[in-house]
Amino acid sequence: MSFKKVRVCDAVGMVLGHDMTKIVPGEYKGPLFRKGHIIRQEDIPHLLDIGKEHIYLLELGEGQVHEDEAARRIAGKVAGANTSITEPVEGRVDLVAKQGGLLKVNRAAVTRINSVDYIVLSTLHGNQPVKAGDILAGIKVVPLVVEDAVIRAAGAVADEYEDIISVKPLNSLKTAVIVTGNEVFFGRIQDKFGPVLAEKIKIYNAAFHGISSQPDDQAKITRAILNFVSAGVDVIVVTGGMSVDPDDVTPEAIRATGAEVVTYGTPVLPGAMFMLAYLGKVAILGLPGCGMFSKTTVFDLVFPRILAGERLTKQDFAGMGYGGLCLRCQECRYPYCPFGK
C-alpha cells in the first residue's frame, strides 16, 4: 500500500480512495465525502474547513484489500437467514434484519472470528426479539487496508459454521391460557392474570385461542389441558398454583397429562417456579404468579423461542442463570437491557 499526496487545491477531478469524516462536537459525526467521490471545485472550502490541506490517494499493493471490501467479504460470511448487508460507511458494514423474529447468534463463531487479527465483528445478544430493519451486527477491519490472507483466515473460520447471525421467524402458534385458583374460579376476585397473558401472547404475534378458568383441582386442570390439546392448541400456559404450598396442584396436574417435564424451576428471577413440559409437540408452560406483577419474566425468555420452533432442554434453562436477574427497573426497556443476556 502506498499513498500519493496531493494538495487539496490541486485535487479537482480526482477520486477519493476512502471516506472523509466530518466531526462537529456534540452535533454530528459522519462522512463528509464518501469513497469514490470526485472532487469538485466547490468541495475545496469544505475540505479546508475540516483541516484537510492535502488528499492522500490510496494505491493498493498486490494481495491487499481496502477496508470497505474487507467488511463486505466478512459480512457475506456471517450473514445468515433473514438478514441483509448494508453498503459500507466509514469502513463499516451492518447486518440488518429483513423481518421480525428471534435473533440467533453463534457466540463461539463470533469469538473465533474476532480472534483473527484486525477483524471487528460486533453483535447484539442472541435469543432476543428483533424487528425488521433492526441492526444486528457491525463489521469492519481495524486498518484502512489489510492483507487478503487476513480476510481469507476469517472466512475459513466462518465456513465451519452455518447461519452465524440469523433471524428465526416467530410462528403464529395457537396458544391457550388456563387460569387456576379457587379465588378466581368462584368469583371471589377478578382474574387479572389471564388478560395480561392474552395481551402478551398477541404482542408476540401468536394466535390466542382462549382462556379457561379452573379451581385448585388437579383432575380438572389436567382435563382442561387435555381438552386444549384435543382442540389442536400448540402452546398451553397454565397460571398460578406453581409454588410448594399443599393446595398448589398445577405441577402435578401437568405431570398427570403424561407430558415430559423438561424443568420445574429455573435460575431466572422473576420466574424461579416456572415449569416447561412437552406432551408430544405441545408445549405446556406452568407460569408462577410473578407473571401478573412483573412486566418481564422468564416467560419472555422462553415463549419467543418456542414460537421460533425451538424445543428447549434442561441445559438451555441452566444457561439462563447468567443474565437471568431482572432488576425490575421503574421503566422496563426489555429487550434493551441485561435481562436474559
- What pLDDT sits at residue 59? 66
- What pLDDT sits at residue 5? 81
Residue ranges for the chain with pLDDT beneath 70: 1-3, 14-15, 17-18, 35-36, 57-59, 184-187, 246-247, 291-292
Which amino acid would we find at residue 43? D
- What pLDDT sits at residue 49? 85
Going from the N-terminus, what domains does the chain have, and what CATH number goes with each?
2-59 (3.90.105), 64-168 (3.90.1170.30), 174-321 (3.40.980.10)
- What pLDDT sits at residue 30? 74
Q: Is the Cβ–Cβ distance between 180 and 241 less than 8 Å?
A: yes
pLDDT, tens digit (0-9, with 9 covering 90-100), for 122-174 = 999 999 999 999 999 999 999 888 999 999 999 999 999 999 999 999 999 99
CA distances (Å), origin 154, targets 90, 93, 117, 334: 21, 16, 9, 33
- What pLDDT sits at residue 24? 74
- What pLDDT sits at residue 253? 96
- What pLDDT sits at residue 207? 96
Report the candidate in 260, 258, 270 with the shortest Cα–Cα distance to residue 296. 270
- What pLDDT sits at residue 4? 73
**Spatial separation of the C-alpha atoms in residues 301 and 284, rounded to whole Å:** 15
- What pLDDT sits at residue 36? 62
